[in-house]
Amino acid sequence: MQHIFSSAGGRTVVPYPGSDPRLLLTGGGTETAYEYRDRGGYRPIGSVAALADEVERSGLRGRGGAGFPFAVKVAGVRGGSRVGAGAPAGWTETVVVANGEEGEPASFKDRWLLRHRPHLVLDGLRLAAALVGARRGYVYVSDAEAARCVTAALEELGGGLPGGPEIIVMRVDPGYVAGEETAAVQAINGGPAKPTDKPPRPFEAGVAGLPTLVGNVETLANLPFVDRWGADAYRATGTALSPGTFLATVTAADRPPTLYELPHGLPFADLLALHGIAESAVRGALIGGYFTGLLDRSVLDLTLDHETLRRAGAGLGCGAIALLTTECPVAVAAGILNYFDRENAGQCGSCFNGTAAMAAVATALADGRAGGDDVQRLRRWSTVLRGRGACGTLDAACNTAAGLLGRFPDEVAAHLDTRCPDCAAGPATDRAPYRVEMEALL
């Protein structure tokens, strides 16, 4: 049976057909504390050691971008923790952060979870705090409605989590780099929401200088399932190296953005069928959001899991999947590079100047004003600038340029000293391609 959460704009939230959703609701509105408890939430926390073992065996990976094993993060924070004076038994001087600052323009999964299932996220945060012995936790967001829903959820609980840490809702201005974990830590510490040099990493010295576990809200939302049903049940879906389900924001030019809960390992062609897009109509895709760059029609042969996409030179990232159909890849790449130029944190000269230079060439190429020398410069920059920024913005820009040049050489060649009809009618380079405006969906 296919469960559908509908909105005024049509299908907005769709669990995978024939499956019982773990993260998505099949009804509208915001889940209340009573409804969440009735579904088995906020269970008493038993043995923390047993929970840690189940989390490790589950193979849960981060949903914020890198797909890092969550149990490794937990172990790092536990290893650096220390017992503070007067700390209750089992609690240490550590901090947990639910990172809901969804800077990726083509994604709305985190905002949806915070707006519609705040108690699932809070329960996951409670369990994460138990894993590292934290007495304090933060919900870090920029979306005003998400902040309101989480605050209301805490008020339902009398102002705090049952058996959990003190929770503070922290709201910042939105930005592509604001969701980077060191940016979150710096903002909570009273500074700007911009990345800082590493080391130290947050697990070493984060909020108030304490070992800090920063977890994406979707990552944390998986913990109640693992706690209740165990690692084997969690692994019953997905692949050996990418177990469980994940949330995918899928956008295409002629379809409303849709949030799916999908099993890891799903063939890309099956997702197209679910979304109602013919394989013949697909020119390529952005997989994992803006960071990993463009893929061509070779994406049709891939499966949606970390290991397969990594071998293809891409990544699942935050699960944002934008389908290229009528759009010209040159115009899309130019739009993304201009977005990176605008969103630059302005902290690293190589990134500040490099993203601007790559954006200028890509824009000239889309407008039919670039020559062969410009393309060669873009190719060189996409290689030599990698790894020179404090955060991932410069690498993301390099990935975009390299993906365009390496996977769409015919389209690039066709733009030299001319402009294609698709670019003239495609997305403008002064706005972010495939940006999801969530308010339009509700």
Q: What is the CATH number of the domain that holds 355?
A: 1.20.1440.230
Q: Tokens at residue 119, please?
A: 């108690």
Q: Tokens at residue 140, please?
A: 């870090």
Count other C-beta atoms under 10 Å from residue 376's C-beta. 12
Domain count, the chain: 2
Nearest to 103 by CA among 295, 289, 347, 349: 289
Q: What is the mean pLDDT of residues 12-16?
A: 89
Q: Which of 200, 235, 270 is the last residue of a domain?
A: 235
**Separation between Cα atoms, residue 28 and residue 41, nearest integer Å:** 19
State whether 195 and 336 are in the same domain: no
345 occurs within a structural domain:
yes
Cβ–Cβ < 8 Å for 3, 15: yes
> 262-317, pLDDT tens digit by residue?
999 999 999 999 999 999 999 999 999 999 889 999 999 999 999 999 999 899 99
Q: Which of 213, 235, 257 is the last residue of a domain?
A: 235
State whether 339 and 225 are in the same domain: no
> So what's the pLDDT on residue 89?
60
State whether 335 and 228 are in the same domain: no
State whether 75 and 223 are in the same domain: yes
> 45-58, pLDDT tens digit by residue?
999 999 999 999 99
pLDDT over threshold 90, residue 28: no
249 occurs within a structural domain:
no
245 occurs within a structural domain:
no
Q: Name the percent of the chain lying above pLDDT 70.
A: 93
Domain around 63: 31-235
> So what's the pLDDT on residue 256?
86
State whether 219 and 353 are in the same domain: no
Q: Tokens at residue 433, please?
A: 């391609």
State whether 37 and 149 are in the same domain: yes
377 occurs within a structural domain:
yes
Q: Which of 235, 264, 286 is the last residue of a domain?
A: 235
State whether 218 and 364 are in the same domain: no
253 occurs within a structural domain:
no
24 occurs within a structural domain:
no
The larger pLDDT score, comparing residue 197 to residue 33, is at 33
341 occurs within a structural domain:
yes
- Banded pLDDT at 91 (limits 50, 70, 90): low
State whether 56 and 193 are in the same domain: yes
Mean pLDDT of the chain: 90
State whether 349 and 221 are in the same domain: no
pLDDT over threshold 50, residue 74: yes
State whether 162 and 59 are in the same domain: yes
Count other C-beta atoms under 10 Å from residue 72's C-beta. 12
- The CATH code of the domain that includes 91 is 3.40.50.11540
2 occurs within a structural domain:
no
State whether 119 and 230 are in the same domain: yes
> 386-408, pLDDT tens digit by residue?
988 778 899 999 999 999 999 99
| Secondary structure of the chain in HEC code, one letter for each residue | CCCCEEECCEEEEEECCCCCCCCCCCCCCCCCHHHHHHCCCCCCCCCHHHHHHHHHHHCCECCCCCCCEHHHHHHHHHHHCCCCCCCCCCCEEEEEEEECCCCCCCCCHHHHHHHHCHHHHHHHHHHHHHHHCEEEEEEEECCHHHHHHHHHHHHHCCCCCCCCCEEEEEECCCCCCCCCHHHHHHHHCCCCCCCCCCCCCCCCCCHHHCCEEEEEHHHHHCHHHHHHHCHHHHHCCECCCCECEEEEEEEECCEEEEEEEEECCEEHHHHHHHHCCCHHHCCEEEECCCCCCEECHHHHHCEECHHHHHHCCCCCCCCEEEEECCCCHHHHHHHHHHHHHHHCCCCCHHHHHHHHHHHHHHHHHHCCCCCHHHHHHHHHHHHHCCCCCCCCHHHHHHHHHHHHHHHCHHHHHHCCCCCCHHHHHCCCCCCCCCCCCHHHHC
**Separation between Cα atoms, residue 61 and residue 69, nearest integer Å:** 4
Q: Tokens at residue 2, please?
A: 């296919």
